[in-house]
Amino acid sequence: MPDFEEASDAILAQFKTSLDSSRPNVPVSWPNIEFAPAEDFDEASNEAWARVSVQGAGARQASLGAVGSRRWRSAGLVYVQVFAPIGVGANQALAVADDVATAFRGVTASSVRLKAPSINPIGRDEGYYQVNVTTPFEFDQTA
């Protein structure tokens, strides 16, 4: 049963594997890794770029029992922000967001259960058209 670090790694690995397959020309801004859209995103060769983060959203006791055998359930959200160039319409960003949602929908990655993603078009943001994908997840630990 994973801890938060292992859960985050499993989620990010699932995202990378899926996006590398479905959208290899979408560069990703990974947590705490240098990424500058002005240098790392080329409108001529990339259709969009994405930023991903994994956030905790609370925990609770999920079972009774002796210390060491109790199950604790942690929940969180995966945020993927998709940015497409202004002037190409919304469909480019929406298509990438759809692929992100498909990558997470109902998947279990190393005991991390990903749930139903939500797609939320944001609109123009700093020279890009933005669409967010938010996916709840949960995992259990025994302690």
Question: What does the pLDDT look like over 30-75, one tens digit per residue?
Answer: 999 999 998 899 888 888 999 999 999 887 777 777 776 788 889 9
Spatial distance between the Cα atoms of 85 and 87, rounded to a whole number of angstroms? 6
Q: How confident is the model at residue 1 (pLDDT cuts 50, 70, 90)?
A: low
In this prediction, residue 64 carries a pLDDT of: 74
Question: What does the pLDDT look like over 123-138, one tens digit per residue?
Answer: 998 889 999 999 999 9
Question: What does the pLDDT look like over 66-123, one tens digit per residue?
Answer: 776 788 889 999 999 999 999 888 999 999 999 999 999 999 999 999 999 999 999 9
Spatial distance between the Cα atoms of 8 and 26, rounded to a whole number of angstroms? 21
